[in-house]
Amino acid sequence: MMDEAAARAEILEAGRRLKDRFFVAANDGNISARLSDGKILITPTGVNKGDMSAEMLLTVDGEGRVLSGELKPTSEMKMHLSVYRQRPDVQAIVHAHPPTATGFATSRIRLDQDVILPEVVFGLGRIGFSEYGTPTTQAVPEAVSREIADCDALLLANHGAMTVGASVMQAYYRMETLEMYARIRLVTMQLGGPAALSEPEVQELFQVREQRGWGGAPALEIDPRAVELVSQIVLQVLQAQGAGLSR
């Protein structure tokens, strides 16, 4: 989980980049990060994401109760909290409206039907597609929950896109990758259709992704001292059982 100072800095940087790349307009989009103490740092509603200051960000608990901050949290907070509850490995979320990816989302055209770039598998894995729900309502987090378990990027039907990561900047970079992929897919459609990779080729890419640790939940770090302690306890139990049988 992220240190609060680092998370605030990354949220501000990601917000500026979203604005500069026109992935958001006006007050669109929202960003959040899970902090080391379990609290959630989240962007406010009604503020341009490129013009935020650190003081504008809010901290909320797992139920969405505001713990610090003067402004109101994003109206899409329910979606963020739902993802954090379902994905313990996710430490940050970016929601935006990158034009090309959002064009696919509003046309309800999936981006996971044909794989045409290895880099997309390595950087995003499967691109999910969340069915439409009225923004700000419980329908959105429910729709996202049905897709987010096995993907780090997804289109939100008639709404935009969402990416997740182990840090804010990783989630943001995944948004860049998603938008670039959508642009390339659009070009291939204009040129007569993509030359998709075969299923064996795609499976091999996913195997490489898994082997390199480029996606999914991070591997648990096991303390060797804990292993030794458990081994000693198991040995003592077995010895005690053996002694009981011998009697």
Three-state secondary-structure class, residue 165:
strand
- Does 128 or 116 have the greater pLDDT score? 128
Task: Compute the distance between CA of residue 163 and CA of residue 178 in angstroms, rounded to an integer.
Answer: 9
Give the pLDDT of residue 241.
Answer: 54
7/156 Cα distance (integer angstroms): 25
The question of whether 76 is a catalytic residue gets the answer yes
The reply to whether the predicted model has a pTM over 0.85 is no
pLDDT above 70 (res 239): no
Question: What are the residues whose beta carbons fall under 8 Å from the beta carbon of 29, sequence distance 6 or more?
Answer: 15, 18, 23, 43, 49, 94, 95, 96, 97, 160
Question: Which amino acid, one-letter code, is at 212?
Answer: R
Q: What pLDDT digit, counting tens, does each position of 38-56 carry?
A: 999 999 999 999 999 999 9
pLDDT of residue 48: 97
Segment among 39-48, 183-192, 218-227 with least mean pLDDT: 218-227
Task: Give the Cα separation of 86 and 162 in Å (integer).
Answer: 15
Backbone φ and ψ for 188, nearest 5 degrees, come out as -65, -35
Say how many C-beta atoms besides its own lie within 10 A of residue 65's C-beta.
Answer: 9
Mean pLDDT of the chain: 88
216 pLDDT band (50/70/90 cuts)? low
The DSSP 8-state label assigned to residue 87 in this structure reads: -
Q: Is the pLDDT of residue 158 over 80?
A: yes
Q: Domain 4-200 class?
A: alpha beta
Residue 164 has pLDDT above 50, yes or no: yes
User: What radius of gyration do the chain's Cα atoms show?
Assistant: 22
pLDDT (mean) for 80-89: 96
**What ranges do the domains of the chain cover?**
4-200
pLDDT value of position 221: 35
Q: Tell me, what's the pLDDT at 242?
A: 58
Q: Is the pLDDT of residue 1 over 80?
A: no
pLDDT tens string 94-127: 999 999 999 999 999 999 888 889 888 898 989 9
Judged against a pLDDT cut of 80, whether residue 30 lies above it is answered with yes
The active-site residue, picked from 55, 70, 76, 199, is: 76
